[in-house]
Chain A
Amino acid sequence: EIVLTQSPGTLSLSPGERATLSCRASQSVSNSYLAWYQQKSGQAPSLLIYGASSRDTGIPDRFSGSGSGTDFTLTISRLEPEDFAVYYCQQFGSSPPTFGQGTKVEIK
């Protein structure tokens, strides 16, 4: 199975700062099948980005995704208070679908 490794484990930033989250795959993943999710405390994950770079409906444009092959990035251009959460990458290109272990974005 494809292992997704996210870094860093925790990102301590202030509102207004830029967040850069990394997701590295153990094998190449088609861009079409790489997604990012946000999980707030006590809630289910929710879809942010699909196809590595396409925002889901209603997702603000401060969220952007990029990358290809084995290296993918989620960028939050200016952190809002509601963005402090855990973020997961996930691949659908090879069965079983797998998730990264998550990056927690916390308030500094």
Chain B
Amino acid sequence: QVQLQESGPGLVKPSETLSLTCSVSGGSINSYYWSWIRQSAGKGLEWIGRIYMSGSTNYNPSLKSRVTMSVDTSKNQFSLKLRSVTAADTAIYYCARDGTYCSSSNICYKYFDYWGQGAQVTVSS
């Protein structure tokens, strides 16, 4: 059973950089995309971006200028950095696996099939 666990500071000062790591156990980080998703009272569930084992990334255009993701396949981990944070970045941050299933009739499905428990990050001085 694949398990994901977020780790990182729970409190970040305004204008600083939010840094989180997601550790994957029970399966390899290889051959999947891995996403960061956040949840706040104001904006609901918001996809931040994804990374592949090669380091290839896709970011949400709304956050692209402030986001960097990286992957460490040797540690089965991937990470998120969000720069110049404000109170609007206060949220629960989840890491998740981008699941893909292709049927025998070559129809492929996509979904988020495994999620971490979430890490509360508060931006405050």
The majority secondary structure among interface residues of chain B is strand
Q: A45-B45, A95-B58, A102-B44 are in contact. Are A51 and B118 (CB under 8 A)?
A: no
- The one of A44, A46, A47, A98 in contact with B47, judged by C-beta atoms closer than 8 angstroms, is A98
The size of the chain A interface, using a CB distance under 8 A, is: 25
- With A88-B45, A96-B47, A99-B45 as contacts: A32 and B110 at CB distance below 8 Å: yes
Q: Is the CB of B44 within 8 A of A99?
A: yes
Structural contact, B113 and A44, CB atoms closer than 8 A = no
CB contacts under 8 Å to B, within A57-108, are: 88, 90, 92, 95-102
Is A47 within 8 A of B110, CB to CB? no
A47 with B112: CB separation less than 8 A = yes
Q: Interface range on chain B: under 10, 10 to 19, 20 to 34, or 35 or more?
A: 20 to 34
The CA-CA distance from A43 to B116 in the complex, in Å, is 9
Contact, CB under 8 Å: A35 / B47: no
B27 at the interface (CB under 8 A from A): no
Q: Is B61 an interface residue (CB 8 A)?
A: yes
Chain B residues whose C-beta falls within 8 Å of the C-beta of A92 in the assembled complex: 110-111
B47–A32 touching, CB < 8 Å: no
In the bound complex, residues from chain A placing their C-beta under 8 Å from that of B46 are: 99
In the docked arrangement, what's the CA distance between A45 and B116, Å? 9
Say yes or no: A44 contacts B116, CB within 8 Å: yes
Q: A32 near B109 (CB under 8 angstroms)?
A: yes
- Given contacts A44-B94, A95-B58, A98-B47, is CB(A32)–CB(B113) below 8 Å? no
Residues of B within 8 A of A (CB): 35, 44-47, 58, 60-62, 94, 99, 101, 107-113, 115-118
Q: List 22 A-B contacts (CB under 8 A).
A: A32-B108, A33-B110, A44-B118, A45-B45, A45-B112, A45-B115, A46-B115, A50-B99, A50-B101, A50-B111, A51-B109, A54-B109, A90-B111, A92-B110, A92-B111, A95-B58, A96-B47, A96-B62, A97-B35, A99-B44, A99-B46, A99-B47
